[in-house]
Amino acid sequence: MLTEIQKQLLKEIADLHKVPEGAYNIRANGEAAGRNSTANIEISSKTDKPGIDIRIKPGTKNENVHIPVVLSESGLKEVVYNDFFIGDDCDVVIVAGCGISNCGDQDSAHDGVHCFYVGKNARVKYVEKHYGEGTGRGKRIMNPRTEVYIGEGSSVEMEMVQIKGVDDTKRETIAKLEKDARLVVHERLLTHGDQRAESGYTVELNGDNSSADVVSRSVAKERSWQLYRSRIVGNALSNGHTECDAIIMDEAKVLAIPELEANNLDSALVHEAAIGKIAGDQIIKLMTLGLTEEEAEEQIVNGFLR
């Protein structure tokens, strides 16, 4: 049975108020807390290391898979390996994410390694949200690694969100695209206090007419530190775009490193990066509507990260 704290974490990271319908695997404090497979989606435990295999049959349409992880014990550290095998002509949504509640003095950490093998002409939406809470001095640490192999004619949309409570994170994402494949990434990140966050993306456009759009929006407050690195490699007739927009506040620091590598005459690659503070006239305009300065800043930040 899940505790009330674990249920709250599930609500934060996966918007789950009850056991979801369809296929799901819930992991709590290093153990399986619930699992269900369907006729089209099979979830099984790995036999050689912690983690699961998710196999989605070709032609599966309009089905969801939930695989959230929650930690509520101080000092618990784990590495989990999850592999997704997505058949041809699928159209599915995969909801992952990790929530850590740490009220103790020891660090708690979850490292998730996710590999996606996407067949031909499939559509996949992947949502991953990280969340931390707790009054203890122990850190909440998450280090996700994601590998995505997108087959011919397939598209993958990834929504990466981390907006509260994670002290240290290092996200690494690698994607390789075949002919006519498409990747869209939307990252939203907020750090505060002494938090540190690194995001690294490497995308290889290996097939003709492949494309990628990797966009990060972040806010760094107080004494936090962020590093965003995005590398797009055009190895064929392809289109690639990467963008980093960041708001910096207080004593925070942000480093953005976009990188393009064109290895084909017909690869068209573009990068954009912008880091700046909130404009004073934006705050003044909202204050004239009755908001305090702090409330105005919060409204601007929330709108920016939406």
Q: How far is Cα 4 from Cα 72, in angstroms, rounded to an integer?
A: 10
Backbone angles phi, psi at 43, to 5 degrees: -115, 125
pLDDT reported for residue 237: 98
| Any domain includes 126 | yes
Is residue 136 very low, low, confident or very high in pLDDT (cuts 50, 70, 90)? confident
**Per-residue model confidence (pLDDT) at position 15:** 75
pLDDT at 62: 94
284 within domain boundaries = no
Q: How far apart are CA 41 and CA 63, in angstroms?
A: 9
pLDDT value for 289 = 83
Residue 304 confidence (pLDDT): 87
- Output the 3-class SS for 24-73: EEEEECCEEEEEECCCCEEEEECCCCCEEEEEECCCCEEEEEECCEEECC
Structure tokens at 297: 């800043």
According to the model, what pLDDT value does residue 18 have? 65
Q: Which residues pair with 227 in a beta bridge?
A: 198, 255
pLDDT digit string, tens, across residues 210-252 = 999 999 999 999 999 999 999 999 999 999 999 999 999 999 9
Mean pLDDT lowest among 22-36, 104-118, 126-140, 280-294: 280-294
Number of domains the chain is built from: 1
Q: What is the average pLDDT across 275-299?
A: 85
| Domain assignment of residue 113, yes or no | yes
Note whether residue 46 is domain-resident.
yes
128 pLDDT more than 80: yes
Q: Which domain holds residue 111?
A: 4-279
Q: Is residue 300 in a domain?
A: no
Least reliable range by pLDDT among 84-98, 101-115, 200-214, 269-283: 269-283
Return the higher-pLDDT residue of 286 and 51.
51
Q: Quickly state the pLDDT bin for 1 (edges 50, 70, 90).
A: low
Interval 3-62: pLDDT, tens = 788 878 888 887 766 667 789 999 999 988 899 999 999 999 999 999 999 999 999 999
Mean of pLDDT values over 82-93: 98
Please give the pLDDT value at position 16. Answer: 66
Is the pLDDT at 105 greater than 70? The verdict is yes
**pLDDT score, position 5:** 81
Average pLDDT of the residues of the chain? 93
With respect to residue 301, please indicate whether it lies within any of the assigned structural domains: no
Instruction: Provide the token pair at 223.
Output: 């004494």
Question: What are the φ and ψ backbone dihedral angles of 295, each rounded to 5 degrees?
Answer: -65, -35
Distances (CA, A) of 16 to 19, 100, 194, 299: 7, 16, 30, 26
Q: Read off the pLDDT band of 202 (50, 70, 90).
A: very high
Quote the pTM value: 0.93
Which residues are bridge partners to 277 per DSSP?
A: none
pLDDT of 285 higher than 90? no
166 occurs within a structural domain: yes
Q: Judge whether residue 86 has pLDDT over 80.
A: yes
